[in-house]
Amino acid sequence: MSGAEGARSLLLTHERGAGTAVLAVDLGGTAMKGAVVSDRGETLVELTRPTPASEVVGALISLFRDLGESASGLGCRVVGAGVATPGMIDEERGIVRYASNLDWRDVPLRDALRDALDVPVALGHDVRAAGVAERLIGAARGTGDFVLVPIGTGVAAALVTAGGTVTGATGAAGEFGHIPVVIDGEQCTCGQRGCLEVYVSGAGLARRYAAAGGPALSSREIVARLGSDAVADRVWTRAVDVLAQGLNILTLLLDPEVIVLGGGFSRAGDALMIPLTARMSAGLAWRERPRVVRSELGGDAGRTGAAILAFRAAGLEAVADEWRAVIPTP
């Protein structure tokens, strides 16, 4: 069994039975993905609900309570809860400083959840939580120096060096998509020009394709047209060039052993990985590029990271460490 297959079987086994468990939610701007996760790493229950336009905290508490009832119905003892959320996060104090797609400022989310659930609660940044999971049981296991770059509607990064996650002075480290890599480039919604995600994200690719004369298509549909559509070829080539430049910047700053790519973009497979790695190598004159791989946990990485953080909040750090022991290092 490959490492990827081992990770998937560990996380997606649906054995029913009693034991210790945590509740985990990956909170996004459009959906809240929740699960009951056992101390053996098994996903016992999954619940996904749309993220409401308002009263998000109340909806999140309701989801957690429903997950807790499901856990009780299985005979599980819930020892903690974890939530991964976008935005600028003060993880030590449990406060979401700012999350634009949730319209949040200075929300004391950890305390609100702890009061409602009466168990230890962990709050983590969604991408950094995904990085915790990839390092423990995913594509970055075995290394303390890596970068996780999920590329979807937007682009961010989890930065891990010497085994520690870089959070920054304000909790905003990892805004990889808003590094201006194109001088005098196109306007970004953030107000800057030439930001990486203007060219590389799924939304950016679709917008640039339509602006160049193509029909309204998703990034996946644009990739499907490569080789037969000159406009698709042109915007894709530009996206890969910009991503290669951005990843080389990260390489020279952090010297990661491995770069893990996630999100919808990574599903382009060889259409992305072959030209990307070639252009990265060509752009690094005096050193080799790091290994570049696709995420092994995919869309479950954030929720899995939230579960790991929940076990840690409950004082059971060794539980998740045991998951790693049964998965071969790549």
pLDDT of residue 18: 52
Residues in contact with 316: Cβ distance below 8 Å, sequence separation at least 6, in sequence order: 20, 39, 79, 80
Examine domains 3-132+298-325 and 143-294 and report if their fold is the same. Answer: yes
| Predicted confidence (pLDDT) at residue 185 exceeds the cutoff of 70 | yes
- Alpha-carbon distance 141 to 172, whole Å? 24
8: confidence class by pLDDT, cuts 50, 70, 90: very low
329: confidence class by pLDDT, cuts 50, 70, 90: low
| Predicted confidence (pLDDT) at residue 7 exceeds the cutoff of 60 | no
- Alpha-carbon distance 141 to 329, whole Å? 6
CATH superfamily for 3-132+298-325 is ATPase, nucleotide binding domain (3.30.420.40)
Task: Locate the domains of the chain by residue range.
Answer: 3-132+298-325, 143-294
CATH superfamily for 143-294 is ATPase, nucleotide binding domain (3.30.420.40)
pLDDT of residue 328: 59
pLDDT of residue 16: 37
Q: pLDDT tens digits, residue range 261-304? A: 999 888 899 999 999 999 999 999 999 999 999 999 998 999 99
pLDDT of residue 27: 95
Q: pLDDT tens digits, residue range 37-90? A: 999 888 999 999 999 989 999 999 999 999 999 999 999 999 999 999 998 899
- Alpha-carbon distance 40 to 223, whole Å? 38
Local structure of 225: helix, strand or coil: coil
- Alpha-carbon distance 75 to 302, whole Å? 26
Percent of the chain with pLDDT over 90: 78
323: confidence class by pLDDT, cuts 50, 70, 90: confident
pLDDT of residue 303: 95
| Predicted confidence (pLDDT) at residue 2 exceeds the cutoff of 50 | no
| Predicted confidence (pLDDT) at residue 135 exceeds the cutoff of 70 | yes
- Across the chain, mean pLDDT equals 90
13: confidence class by pLDDT, cuts 50, 70, 90: very low
Nearest to 306 by CA among 72, 93, 47, 127: 127
**Rg of the chain over all Cα atoms, to the nearest angstrom:** 20
pLDDT of residue 249: 97
94: confidence class by pLDDT, cuts 50, 70, 90: very high
pLDDT of residue 10: 44
